[in-house]
Amino acid sequence: MSIAGLFFFAAIVGLTLYVTYLASKRTNSASEFYTAGGGLTGWQNGIAIAGDYLSAASFLGIAGAIALNGFDGFFYSIGYLVAYLVVLYIVAEPLRNLGKYTLADMITARFNQQKIRGAAAVSTLTIVLFYMIAQLVGAGALIQLLLGIDYWIAVLLVGIMMTTYVLWGGMAATSWVQIIKAVLLMIGTIIISFLVLMKFDFNIFKMFSDMKSVTPAGEAFLNPGVKYTNGIDTMSMMIALVFGTAGLPHILMRFFTVKDAKTARSSVVYATWIVGIFYILTIFLGFGAAAFVGSEDIIAANAAGNMAAPLLAQALGGDLLMSFVSAVAFATILAVVAGLVLSGASAFAHDIYGQIIKKGKVTEKEQMKAARFASIAVSVFSIILALGAQSMNVAFLVSLAFCIAASANLPVIIYTIYWKRFNTTGALAAMVTGLVTALVLVALSPNIWSPEGTAILTGTALFPLTNPAIISVPAGFIAGYIGSVVSAKADERKYAEVAVKANTGLK
Partner 1 sequence: MEQKVEHVVQPQRNHDYETIAASPEFKSLVRKKNNFLLPVTVFFLLFYFTLPLLTSFSTVLNKPAIGDISWVWIFALAQFIMTWTLCMMYVKKANQFDTEADQVLTKHNKSEGDRL
- Footprint of partner 1 (CB under 8 A): 71, 74-75, 78-79, 81-82, 84-86, 88-90, 93, 204-205, 208-209, 212, 222-225, 228, 231-232, 234-235, 238, 242, 259, 262, 265-266, 268-269, 272-273, 276, 279-280, 493, 496-497, 499-501, 503-507
Helix axes 3-24 and 308-345, enclosed angle (nearest 10): 20
In 3D space, the residue among 463, 48, 470 whose CA is nearest the CA of residue 242 turns out to be 470
Tell me the Ramachandran region of residue 489: left when phi exceeds 0, alpha when psi lies from -120 to 50, beta otherwise: beta
Half-sphere exposure of 244 (CA within 13 A, CB side): 28
- Residue 253 gets which letter from DSSP? G
Of the two residues 208 and 381, which places its CB atom closer to partner 1 in the complex?
A: 208
Q: Min. distance of Cβ 204 from partner 1 in angstroms? A: 7
Q: Min. distance of Cβ 223 from partner 1 in angstroms? A: 5
- Residue burial 360-378, b: 16+ Cβ < 10 Å; e: rest: eebeeeebbebbbebbeeb
Helix (H) or strand (E) segment spanning residue 401? helix 394-404
Is there a contact between 152 and 388 (Cβ–Cβ < 8 Å)? Answer: no
Of the two residues 31 and 379, which places its CB atom closer to partner 1 in the complex?
A: 31
Of the two residues 93 and 351, which places its CB atom closer to partner 1 in the complex?
A: 93
Q: Please provide the size of the chain in residues.
A: 507
Q: Min. distance of Cβ 99 from partner 1 in angstroms? A: 17
Q: Min. distance of Cβ 231 from partner 1 in angstroms? A: 3
Of the two residues 158 and 268, which places its CB atom closer to partner 1 in the complex?
A: 268
Q: Min. distance of Cβ 503 from partner 1 in angstroms? A: 6
Label the pairing between strands 449-450 and 457-458. parallel
Of the two residues 75 and 449, which places its CB atom closer to partner 1 in the complex?
A: 75
Of the two residues 168 and 418, which places its CB atom closer to partner 1 in the complex?
A: 418
Q: Min. distance of Cβ 437 from partner 1 in angstroms? A: 21
DSSP 237-250: HHHHHHHHGGG-HH
Question: CA 223, CA 432: separation in Å to the nearest integer?
Answer: 39
Of the two residues 73 and 480, which places its CB atom closer to partner 1 in the complex?
A: 73
The number of beta carbons lying within 10 Å of the beta carbon of residue 218 is 12
- Residue 257 gets which letter from DSSP? G
Of the two residues 210 and 297, which places its CB atom closer to partner 1 in the complex?
A: 210
Q: Min. distance of Cβ 235 from partner 1 in angstroms? A: 5
Of the two residues 82 and 392, which places its CB atom closer to partner 1 in the complex?
A: 82
Is there a contact between 340 and 379 (Cβ–Cβ < 8 Å)? Answer: no
Is there a contact between 316 and 291 (Cβ–Cβ < 8 Å)? Answer: no
The SS3 assignment for 361 reads coil
Q: Residue 31 is which amino acid?
A: S
Q: Min. distance of Cβ 269 from partner 1 in angstroms? A: 6
Half-sphere exposure of 88 (CA within 13 A, CB side): 17
Q: Min. distance of Cβ 71 from partner 1 in angstroms? A: 6
Of the two residues 489 and 493, which places its CB atom closer to partner 1 in the complex?
A: 493
DSSP 473-494: HHHHHHHHHHHHHHSSPP-HHH
The number of beta carbons lying within 10 Å of the beta carbon of residue 439 is 19
Tell me the Ramachandran region of residue 37: left when phi exceeds 0, alpha when psi lies from -120 to 50, beta otherwise: left
Of the two residues 95 and 345, which places its CB atom closer to partner 1 in the complex?
A: 95
Q: Residue 339 is which amino acid?
A: G
Helix (H) or strand (E) segment spanning residue 446? none
Q: Min. distance of Cβ 490 from partner 1 in angstroms? A: 14
Q: Min. distance of Cβ 475 from partner 1 in angstroms? A: 18
